[in-house]
Amino acid sequence: MSTVKLTVNGKAVSAEVEDRTLLVHLLRDHLNLTGTHVGCDTSQCGACVVHIDGRSVKSCTVLAAQAAGANVTTIEGIAKGDELHPMQAAFRDNHGLQCGYCTPGMIMSAIDIVHRHGGELDEATVREELEGNICRCTGYHNIVKAVLDAAGRMKVAQAAE
């Protein structure tokens, strides 16, 4: 057993876990942050995407101990109080979700995509960048619309800061 200390959604946390514990299980089972989903156990679906030090990572591929000392952000940590993150609002407004199971991972991946591309995105880039996230419901059309919409919203929000 190891004690893992990290910052999750802006709060310092510590948990005693087995050395083989994956980050996704630390988040879900020890910290009760169940917005991060386990969809495949093989690192293919992207339902478990979180940000580690600002970059999207499939949390089923990272041992909890590897995240020690890191700043982890989950879907629960991106809104500001009752105000949705622009990506969450864009998914809602563009009907970018159906069953919602893949949505947290899609949103976390999409935020990283927008940050890495500086908000300058086109449909082909979004589709290519989201290849690591599987949605079994939507056919991706509205997800892509949501990401492009959010890129504009995030650019406006950043300019206002």
Rg (CA), the chain: 15
Residue 1: partners with Cβ closer than 8 Å, 6 or more residues away: 16, 17, 18, 19
Give the separation between CA 127 and CA 31, rounded to whole angstroms. Answer: 32
Predicted TM-score (pTM) of this structure: 0.95
Task: Tell me the one-letter amino acid at 69.
Answer: G
Q: pLDDT digit string (tens) for 2-22?
A: 999 999 999 999 999 999 999
Which residue segments constitute the domains of the chain, with CATH numbers given?
Answer: 2-77 (3.10.20.30), 86-160 (1.10.150.120)
- Strand runs (DSSP E) across 101-144, as ranges? none
User: Residue 86, by phi and psi: left (phi above 0), alpha (psi -120 to 50) or beta?
Assistant: alpha
What confidence score (pLDDT) does residue 41 get?
Answer: 75
What confidence score (pLDDT) does residue 16 get?
Answer: 96
